[in-house]
Chains A and B, each alone.
Chain A
Amino acid sequence: MDELIKDIAAQEYKEGFVTEVAQEYAPKGLSEDIIRLISAKKGEPEWLLEFRLDAFRKWQRMRPPYWGHVKLPRIDFQDIIYWAAPKRPEDRPDAIDPALMETFDKLGIPLREREVLAGVKSKSEVAVDAVFDSVSVTTTFRRTLAEKGIIFCSFSEAVREHPDLVRKYLATVVPAGDNFYAALNSAVFSDGSFCYVPKGVKCPMELSSYFRINAAGTGQFERTLIVADEGAQLSYMEGCTAPMRDENQLHAAVVEIIVEKDADVKYSTVQNWYPGDAEGRGGILNLVTKRGICKGSGSHLSWTQVETGSAVTWKYPSTILKGDYSSSEFYSVAMTNHYQQADTGTKMIHLGRGTRSRVVSKGISAGHSENSYRGLVQMGPAAEGARNFSQCDSLLIGSSCGAHTFPVIRNQNPRAVVEHEATTSKISEDQLFYCNQRGIAPEDAVALIVGGYAREVLSRLPMEFAVEAQKLLSVSLEGAVG
């Protein structure tokens, strides 16, 4: 076991390169002037500037949340650059900087992967919106999508071209003053993705966003807004990486998802931000707010997340089940290593009658890391016949890590049922022995067991991500000897 821990601790972060692209910065710090500057740079309408300023004023009166089971380094919000864009003044979308392209190549992200996949599927099935530092670099497959009436573009573009839609839905799920980090994001968000699938349309391909923090001393604050109108269907993926740096970098994103009547949204994330080095120096502070609402009856929202990166993860993708007979799922694998800390889970808020939710969370902790599941399942007074099942398992590798489970169950309806169960265990000697005895090398056995442990979640991912996630997990366990 000791060797295993050593080997895991020796793992290098594979996406830790910096791309040398000329960048344009805003001055450090945060004030109303900076917000006006960001807004002006992006040529935003008055209402959006007002929205930002309002959020900023709220944020100034707020305190950071303290209840997470994480030790956060003190964040100096005046020491962060809130706006950094690669300098590509004209036609940003069609001319990708070769250095940027190389970055994406190195990462092997879906932009290129689509060609690999072309051999599998007859037509390319992935449309990508890549956000590099603060600016959305490129959005592919716009035309194919537009034929179906699907809008998939960067957030700034959506503000310019579809202001009514943005205005109608922005901050309806995560209000500007929702929490400290959401308020900060509402004030300074730089870019992000916007997606709208009209009534009755099934999105013909997977939509994907790709986020990367590149510049030093910057924070990334992207804002994603996904709207699935009546009967629409959509599968959305999001991936993230960042270079290796000694200082902590802040990532405070907000994702809002609106699911109308009978619509179906599947949202998948593979989060691989830089986790800091083996001594816990540096790494991304991933403090994000993700929330969806099943607004209409029969709507469905499914969250799938694979969390392997970040020094600190503070993230609770939640669903408000408002529509009658709507349903939601949350599938998560969170792996922590070295000195990583993760406090993640979900909230299922059942308001409508006959609503259903299912939570499957698998935590894996190794090294000196801390991994917590924190969840809320709430049955409102009108949630007649609602049902939830939650299963949270933790796997511990090594004796210096911690695994915790903090669920809250609140029931206000005598015809609603909530079930929660959790277990904590390690890879047993018996399991290892069984594999070894059949000629499976110890490290393969560990990978096999972890793979089997996480399978229920991994099998939910779209294929492009399933491959990446599997790779990430096995990379972390490479050379593991029980």
Chain B
Amino acid sequence: MNSEVYVIGRDSVPQYLRLEAGEERTLTLIVPPGNGGRLVLEADLVGPGASLDLAGLYLCPGDERLDLRLLVRHTVGGCVSRQLFKGLVGGTARASFDGLVYVAQDAQKTQAYQENHTILLSETARVESRPQLEIYADDVQCSHGATTGYLNPEELFYLRSRGIPEAEARRLQMVAFLAPVLRRLPEPLIEEIHACLS
């Protein structure tokens, strides 16, 4: 199983995925600062035993208008899909996440998980999150979660009280927030994202 990484604005990103029986794919999407517009990804799981592991992070520190749209359709049973998207939104950026998991009738034993977490970094940033489940089969395990919040001031205080400068402490908080997605990336790309955060 290979892990694919796509950087928006640099790589050509697939817009449609079709997973046959037993096929496993791991995809990670990176939206670096300065990228806006609409990003659409659709995936069909059409053979039993297919598994899709999708993750992404988006960094919008400026005046980006990002609109992420994901649609994962389980048309047969016995497939697994996971989505994990994390965003840092600052400046006057607007970022919206719209993800739908569709489970067709009789797609029993489906497992589908979807998560979207965002952190607001400025007064003028806006985020919107629409994680959606549309389920027509009963023997399934589906869940989704979404949060929006801010960098915890108590964590910041903890770090600063141990002599870490404020800017560095904030960077650490952001790195920690993005860590679940970052660890899927090759080393040079991680370095690059770290550089974006400071």
Contacts and interface: CB of A to CB of B under 8 A. Distances in A.
B126 A414 contact: no
B110 to A, nearest CB: 10
Interface in A387-444: 394, 396-426
Given A411-B127, A417-B150, A418-B149, A396 B143 contact: no
A418 B149 CA distance: 6
Contacts of A418: 146-149
B133 interface: yes
A413 B148 CA distance: 10
A381 interface: yes
A121 B147 CA distance: 44
B143 A424 contact: yes
Interface of A is mostly: strand
B25 to A, nearest CB: 24
Given A415-B150, A420-B147, A397 B138 contact: yes
Contact of B108 (A399, A402, A415, A416): A399
B26 interface: no
B125 interface: yes
A421 B135 CA distance: 16
A411 B137 contact: no
Contacts of B120: 411, 413-414, 416
B134 A404 contact: yes
Nearest to B137: A399
Contact of B139 (A69, A399, A421): A399
A404 B147 CA distance: 19
B5 to A, nearest CB: 27
Contact of B130 (A397, A400, A408): A408
Contact of B140 (A410, A411, A414, A424): A424
B129 A409 contact: yes
Contacts of A399: 105-106, 108, 137-139
B123 interface: yes
Interface of B: 105-106, 108, 118, 120-123, 125-150
Given A407-B132, A408-B129, A420-B146, 12 more contacts: A399-B106, A401-B136, A404-B132, A405-B131, A406-B130, A409-B148, A411-B118, A414-B123, A418-B146, A420-B144, A421-B146, A425-B140
Q: Which 7 residue pairs spanning A and B have beta carbons closest together?
A: A396-B138, A414-B120, A411-B148, A421-B145, A409-B129, A424-B142, A417-B149
